[in-house]
Homo-oligomer: A and B are copies of this chain.
């Protein structure tokens, strides 16, 4: 082994103390959120009934380069950060590649994913504002779990609307949230007007993320002392998640390592935007160049087959419009076990960067993703979440290209979380019962037809 340790940990003194706002270095800023009725840009006061005040400032600020991380959040981060940057020596050996592979492992906390980085920040600002609680939706459950933990720590009430089919199929996720004191309601529910309407119109529906968002927003805006929080897509979330990339860069710099390729899975963009932030910043400022690759499921290919257009953030069409790569807010992703990547849209920041040619995107098939996950688990030990395994698949492919060409490229990818709650999916894979769904062009065209017309 070389002098690079198996795991690079930062000392507490080496940890980032400010989040990096990538937007400050973008020549073309992400397009503003629009009021869904008037199509006017949303102002801070427009957003105030829904979001916490300080988070709105972060959401709208395209210029401030660094936001100091409050001490309370730094203390929370100490519970599970720094996360390790791991040199995948065993995977390299197994692949027989001259490439050097590193992964930033964000699963070393009870929520099992990187979601905690933003959940803790959002819970903190809600508490600081004197709120009683927050509402949110969760699909696969990673975000809901992370938010429950953060709310428990900051002594804040937490109401989670969980897509009914997940609520029933993932009872363990639900119980983790309850352990942390959150109330978890299957969506659609009778607790909201929108839920009542949906249940009346579609009796027996198993729910959708869009419906759960609508219910969470309704409760937040109709209950005094409550606001709504969201785990991905938003600019503020990417800001908080920049801690992933800042730590990664600090760890690499400590050993003088310069990556050639940076890879992350992409659903709403929270992990990818966080991981690449400081590297993309250097690229935007012309100080360095990197290949940056977003990996998405072939079943929900926002970047690779979507349109760059204004669209509703939710299926219920109550949230602001965002300009992003989208498959249309009515797009129903085919069944896929990477629940965290089943979102029709994409972070406006990442969408703009992709549109401007600063990053690449590829889509991968589900069965290939699970094969890569298993190969990785067997040599590196960690059991990856299906979402994370998208990045693994792409990293392995790049490393195998290096094997062919003999190039000693340095590849860094984000390992966003663990797969403990995804064993049903692994079981299907083991039993050869997993399918690769890919939407047809006709399906996408039908979905694009629902895009709102914005001048």
Q: Which of A168-176, A222-230, A355-363, A434-442 contacts B (4 or more CB under 8 A)?
A: A168-176
Q: Is the CB of A9 within 8 A of B6?
A: no
Please name all residues of chain B whose beta carbon is closer than 8 Å to the beta carbon of A109 when the two chains form the complex: 381
A424 to B110, CA, bound (A): 17
* A90 interface contact, C-beta 8 A: yes
* A377 interface contact, C-beta 8 A: yes
* A80 interface contact, C-beta 8 A: yes
Which of B78, B80, B179, B420 has a CB less than 8 Å from the CB of A374?
B179
* A197 interface contact, C-beta 8 A: no
* A152 interface contact, C-beta 8 A: yes
Which of B5, B175, B423 has a CB less than 8 Å from the CB of A172?
B423
- CB closest residue in chain B, given A425: B175
Please name all residues of chain B whose beta carbon is closer than 8 Å to the beta carbon of A110 when the two chains form the complex: 377, 381-383, 418
With an 8 Å Cβ cutoff, the count of chain A residues facing the other chain is 42
* A125 interface contact, C-beta 8 A: no
Which A residues between 134 and 193 are near B, CB-CB below 8 angstroms? 149, 152-153, 171-172, 175-176, 178-181
Which A residues between 55 and 95 are near B, CB-CB below 8 angstroms? 75, 78-80, 90
Please name all residues of chain B whose beta carbon is closer than 8 Å to the beta carbon of A404 when the two chains form the complex: none
A424 to B424, CA, bound (A): 16
Please name all residues of chain B whose beta carbon is closer than 8 Å to the beta carbon of A258 when the two chains form the complex: none
A401 to B9, CA, bound (A): 37
* A202 interface contact, C-beta 8 A: no
* A380 interface contact, C-beta 8 A: yes
* A254 interface contact, C-beta 8 A: no
Which A residues between 403 and 427 are near B, CB-CB below 8 angstroms? 418, 420-421, 423-424, 426-427
- Distance (whole angstroms) from the CB of A5 to the closest CB of chain B: 6
Which of B171, B381, B418, B430 has a CB less than 8 Å from the CB of A423?
B171
Please name all residues of chain B whose beta carbon is closer than 8 Å to the beta carbon of A78 when the two chains form the complex: 5-7
Interface pairs (20), CB distance under 8 Å: A5-B12, A5-B78, A6-B75, A6-B78, A6-B79, A79-B90, A79-B380, A80-B381, A90-B153, A109-B381, A110-B418, A112-B420, A152-B378, A153-B378, A153-B381, A176-B420, A179-B374, A179-B377, A179-B383, A179-B426
The 8 closest A-B pairs by CB, nearest first: A172-B423, A175-B423, A6-B78, A420-B420, A152-B378, A110-B383, A175-B427, A79-B381
Using A6-B78, A79-B90 as known contacts, list a sample of 8 further A-B pairs with CB atoms less than 8 Å apart, ordered by residue number in A: A110-B381, A112-B420, A175-B427, A176-B420, A179-B378, A179-B383, A181-B378, A420-B421
